[in-house]
């Protein structure tokens, strides 16, 4: 919807502002033109001075998808664009496409949407895509390792600070939702109840596309001896989910070929923070591997 991207070849548009991700390679012309979708709730109060909305008329998304022969729709809208995310899920259904919901909006984990995709004979995966080396995955791995070695976790938190537009959108519109999703995901790594808080906390513009995550873990081990961990973890945000998306799209293509329909639990549990069914990381990975092996 940004005027600096709409109407341009994808190879140019991908690098246009407000993109502040590090450039890895040059992209040759693709002959794919960026079309304008409806604004809806895609731009929040905090980002309206960063995103420059195009005045071009909205495109007919269903027709574009059908004309292109699209098989999969990937929803990477900003956090907080719940209405727009649902609208694109609707367009996906109308165009006969599988749907990937990378946002924290509840679509794959919502029984109503899952049923609609099942009735349409289409696969659906989501919600809230994990990163390759994300703070949530690292936090869960640490807790699992400590717990397996007999440490009793009492309290733990994970606080994220970023500089991209997604961090700004999260701060304004989905901080509470993201906190619920991340907290539930992190807590699932422990076989018992503990005090757990995880989520995005602030935006710092000079971080650009970087994200800093802070972990604090307190517990006890043999004879009740106290233990505490305090860690800072820094990443570049933009490329961090790329490899996970490759896995998701390839697995979803298998689901399409095999005519699976509705929410595909093995893919959801493996690649998303808020799947329809939250599983321990090792169980989710094993289920995903079995899905690939049995259906490839």
Query: Tell me, what CATH number does 231's domain have?
Result: 3.30.360.10
Which residues is 99 bridged to in the sheet? 73, 124
Q: Please give the Cα distance from 133 to 251 (Å, whole number).
A: 20
Point out the domain boundary residue: 221, 238, 255.
Answer: 238
Task: Provide the pLDDT for residue 77.
Answer: 92
286: left (phi over 0), alpha (psi -120 to 50) or beta: alpha
Task: Provide the pLDDT for residue 88.
Answer: 98
Residues 147 and 286 in one domain: no
Residue 129 CA, distance from chain mean position:
2
For residue 121, give both structure tokens: 């004979």
For residue 38, give both structure tokens: 């409806």
Quick: pLDDT tens for 63-114: 999 999 999 999 999 888 899 999 999 999 999 999 999 998 999 999 999 9
CATH of residue 265's domain is 3.40.50.720
Point out the domain boundary residue: 217, 238, 259.
Answer: 238
- Alpha-carbon distances, residue 82 vs 85, 150, 167 (angstroms): 5, 41, 16
Question: Residue 170: how many CA atoms within 13 Å on its side-chain side?
Answer: 26
Residues 123 and 166 in one domain: no
For residue 2, is it within any domain? no
Host domain of residue 260: 10-130+241-295
Q: Specify the range with the lowest mean pLDDT, choosing from 186-195, 221-230, 256-265, 275-284.
A: 275-284
Residues 28 and 106 in one domain: yes
SS3 state of residue 214? strand
Residues 81 and 53 in one domain: yes
Residues 68 and 192 in one domain: no
Task: Provide the pLDDT for residue 168.
Answer: 75
Residues 23 and 115 in one domain: yes
Residues 272 and 144 in one domain: no
Task: Provide the pLDDT for residue 48.
Answer: 83
Residues 214 and 276 in one domain: no
Confidence of residue 239 (pLDDT cuts 50, 70, 90): confident
Angle between helices 281-295 and 242-257 (to 10 degrees): 40
C-alpha dihedral (204, 207, 211, 216), degrees to nearest 10:
-60
Please say if the pLDDT value at position 175 is more than 80.
Answer: no
Quick: pLDDT tens for 240-285: 889 999 999 999 999 999 999 999 999 999 999 899 998 888 899 9
Please say if the pLDDT value at position 170 is more than 80.
Answer: no
For residue 5, is it within any domain? no
Q: How many domains does the chain have?
A: 2
Residues 125 and 15 in one domain: yes
Residues 221 and 266 in one domain: no
Residues 168 and 226 in one domain: yes
Percent of the chain with pLDDT over 90: 72
For residue 14, is it within any domain? yes
Per-residue pLDDT, averaged over 176-202, amounts to 89
């Amino acid at each position: 919807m940004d005027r600096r991207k709409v109407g341009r070849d994808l190879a140019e548009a991908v690098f246009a502002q407000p993109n502040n991700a590090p450039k890895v390679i040059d992209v040759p012309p693709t002959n794919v033109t960026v079309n304008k979708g409806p604004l809806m709730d895609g731009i929040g109060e905090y980002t309206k001075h960063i995103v420059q909305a195009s005045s071009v008329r909205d495109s007919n998304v269903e027709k574009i998808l059908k004309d292109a022969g699209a098989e999969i729709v990937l929803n990477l809208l900003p956090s907080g664009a719940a209405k727009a995310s649902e609208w694109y899920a609707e367009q996906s259904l109308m165009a006969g496409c599988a749907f990937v919901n990378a946002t924290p909006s509840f679509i794959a984990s919502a029984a109503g949407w899952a049923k609609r995709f099942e009735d349409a004979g289409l696969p659906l995966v989501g919600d809230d895509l994990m990163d390759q080396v994300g703070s949530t995955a690292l936090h869960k791995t640490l807790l699992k390792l400590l717990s397996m070695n007999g440490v009793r976790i009492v309290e733990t938190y994970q606080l994220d600070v970023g500089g991209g537009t997604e961090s700004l959108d999260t701060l304004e519109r989905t901080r509470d939702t993201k906190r619920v999703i991340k907290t539930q995901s992190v807590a699932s790594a422990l076989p018992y109840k503990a005090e757990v808080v995880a989520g995005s906390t602030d935006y710092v513009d000079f971080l650009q596309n970087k994200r800093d995550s802070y972990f604090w873990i307190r517990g006890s081990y043999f004879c009740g001896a106290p233990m505490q961990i305090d860690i800072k973890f820094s990443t570049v945000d933009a490329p961090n989910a790329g490899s996970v998306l490759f896995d998701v799209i390839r697995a979803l293509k298998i689901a399409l070929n095999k005519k699976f329909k509705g929410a595909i639990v093995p893919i959801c549990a493996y690649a998303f923070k808020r799947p329809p069914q939250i599983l321990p990381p090792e169980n989710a990975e094993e289920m995903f591997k079995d899905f690939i092996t049995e259906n490839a």
